[in-house]
Chain A
Amino acid sequence: MALLEDRVNSVPAPRELTTKPRRSDQIFRFVVTLGGMSSLVILGLIALFLSIKGIHILNEKGFSFITESRWEVVTDENQEVIQSTFGIGAMLVGTMLTAVIALFVGVPISILGALYLSFYASGRVKTFLVSLIDLMAAFPSLLFGFWGFFVFMDSAEYWAKLINKYLGFIPIFQVPTPIFERSPFIAGLVLAIMIIPIVTSISREIFAQTPLDRIQAAFALGATRLTMIRAVVIPYGRGGIVGGAMLGLGRAMGETVAVYTVLNVVYAVNWQMLFGAGGNIASLILLKFGEAGAYEVDALMAAGLILFLLTLVVNFAADFLVNRFGKRGR
């Protein structure tokens, strides 16, 4: 009797569920873990390197390193540093300004392009354009820079003057003196062209995954392609578009050579995007690295560290946005 009661009254604790994987599976698990962790390790090592090299500069200069806008080193005849001022404020602003212009121009073009490729382009045109865009993604950025400098600059300057003439009452379109060459506007446009391939191909892949049954449901309700895209494809792809745009933003913020070619490096914070003055962190590093002494190199590493952190923050913010707003259409 007691036994029966025990069985009725006692609820067992959940058992631990275990399995012993086969040897081959264990080895494979080790190999893929290695692969998975390697990117984390490499990223960590780079961050560590930048920190070790740059942290003493940040300690010395403090907050002024990101607020100040001067970059001066005075050395004596023995190459000993007598006096130095390092501040990347202008470069930080330039980095963000050019990247935002790039997104503003590049992302809409990319989305339209991706929609065309996914829902309008037919057979051969589509295959051709897709491989062209992939080619464009692999194009060296130096060539974009050259093209921007020798070919694109003239027309962009003309547009800049037009914008200044008709929209000049808006503060960001004002210029203190009429210098329209090598401005953040032009650098931003070159960057926009550079991010179009990546944003387009990511958006296209997301659009291609739109569930067919939803597309069919929309068409069966008398939808046109435009209304179908608005009701089905865009809500589904929203998260992916944000993700692609953030990859583009990352590329735009880190771009070195192209920006160096088409943007004047000037050590003054400049929000007036049509005015030929600016620079971004990466192009500053390129500009100074060749002739920098050991101490200045450390300062450049500190600038690199700031860029690294900025990229990290932007990516986390993008992840947050995708998780927050991207899921609803799925």
Chain B
Amino acid sequence: MSEENQNQKAMPASLASVAAKHAQKQPGTNPLGTGLEARGVHAWFGTKHVLSDVTLDFAAGTVTALIGPSGCGKSTFIRTLNRMHEFIPTAALAGEVRLDGKDIYAPGTDVTKIRLKIGMVFQKPNPFPSMTIGENVLSGLKLAELKRSNTDDLLESCLVRAGLWNEVKDRLKEQGGSLSGGQQQRLCIARSLAVEPQVLLMDEPCSALDPGSTFRIEETIAELSQTMTIIIVTHNMQQAARVSDYTAFFLSNDGPGLMVETGPTSQIFSAPRDKRTEDYVTGRFG
């Protein structure tokens, strides 16, 4: 008891208290399936081993933040979760990633269907410049060759959920590139919602945005986590503390990246078990 108190004092009060304010969701409280499970995931680029033996569960309907210094493999890891990793020609992988208990790397799997269920938002907003705002939101239907009867409703609901509807409802016919950076990123979120994914991966979605836009996106994340599983890579520990239920800390010591520790976010920021996690979240390195 007293030791834990001392430990808490050593932490910067802000991060721990921010994390404490975030009401953590318990796994399994949401009827959204069993979520996503990574089992012994290794990753390579050519002969370079960049990620070693990561086993991590993402309970359905929770937000998990992946934190760690640059080059620790967290972006590589998130890209193994929807098979975007293999997009790089020399990439290789070992282990399993299971969605609702089924390995997404199993032979005979249609990778496009996996990416429909596990959507992704990238670091840099990347709307399609040849399309209007409305077309951008619905582009997934066309790309994945899905049929929807009432696209107007879908368009509106996606933009509402991404927190962008009020700003763009009168300009749906304008080009996607006419929006500000933060709006573009929310447009990209809306776009990934249109194909109704179970899981949304976000790879540093706010690192190119100003604080105001960041705040809006964090609100959106909180909203979305009611209905889907979210995994977010972030360099911003404040952000991890604000938005996530669980946090996983990644680190690489000249070798492949490892997952050092995972747990409820409030615990990671107040009473980490591993010394390296403590050093990182207290700002001693990284």
Give the interface of A toward B (CB within 8 A).
Answer: 211, 213-214, 216-224, 227-228, 231-232, 235-236, 328-330
Contact = CB atoms under 8 A, between A and B. Distances in A.
A217 B112 contact: no
Contact of A222 (B124, B126, B130, B144): B144
A221 B130 contact: no
A223 B82 CA distance: 13
14 contacts: A211-B126, A214-B126, A214-B128, A214-B129, A218-B139, A220-B119, A221-B115, A221-B139, A222-B116, A231-B131, A231-B142, A231-B143, A235-B130, A329-B130
B128 A217 contact: yes
Contacts of A235: 128-130
Interface string B129-164: 111000000011011110000000000000000000
Contact of B143 (A228, A236, A329): A228
Candidate in B112, B143, B188, B195 with the most chain A CB atoms within 10 angstroms: B143
A221 B192 contact: yes
B201 to A, nearest CB: 8
Contacts of A330: 129
Given A220-B120, A231-B139, A328-B130, 10 more contacts: A211-B126, A213-B126, A220-B115, A221-B140, A222-B112, A222-B115, A222-B143, A223-B144, A232-B128, A330-B129
Interface string B94-117: 000000000000000000110110
Interface in B199-229: none
Contact of A220 (B113, B128, B129, B192): B192
Interface in B159-199: 188, 191-192, 195
Given A213-B126, A214-B128, A227 B144 contact: yes
B116 A217 contact: no
A227 B122 contact: no
B84 interface: yes
Nearest 10 CB-CB pairings of A with B: A235-B130, A222-B144, A222-B116, A223-B143, A329-B130, A220-B120, A221-B140, A213-B126, A227-B143, A217-B126
Nearest to A225: B112
Contacts of B192: 220-221
Contacts of A329: 129-130
B87 interface: yes
A221 B130 CA distance: 16
A211 B112 CA distance: 20
Interface string B64-88: 0000000000000000001010010
A206 to B, nearest CB: 14
Most buried by B among A214, A219, A232: A219
A211 to B, nearest CB: 8
A235 B119 CA distance: 23
A221 B145 CA distance: 11
Contact of B130 (A217, A220, A224, A236): A236
Contacts of B87: 216, 219
A213 B145 contact: no
Nearest to B177: A330
Contacts of B144: 221-224, 227
Contacts of A221: 115-116, 119, 139-140, 143-144, 191-192, 195
A218 B119 CA distance: 11
Contacts of A214: 126, 128-129
Given A216-B122, A219-B84, A231-B139, A224 B129 contact: no
B124 A220 contact: no
B124 to A, nearest CB: 6
A287 to B, nearest CB: 48
For A211, A223, A329, the residue with the greatest tally of chain B CB atoms inside 10 Å of its CB is: A223
Nearest to A235: B130
Interface centre among A222, A223, A235 (most CB of B within 10 A): A222
A222 B143 CA distance: 7
B130 A218 contact: no
B142 A227 contact: yes
Contact of B145 (A219, A220, A227, A236): A227
Contacts of A223: 112, 143-144
Contact of A213 (B115, B119, B122, B139): B122
Nearest to B112: A222
A223 B195 CA distance: 11
A232 B113 CA distance: 19
A219 B144 CA distance: 9
A224 B126 CA distance: 18
A224 B112 contact: yes
B108 to A, nearest CB: 16
Contacts of B145: 224, 227
Contacts of B122: 213, 216-217, 220
B188 A219 contact: no
Given A224-B112, A235-B130, A329-B130, A218 B143 contact: yes
Contacts of B113: 222
A221 B135 CA distance: 14
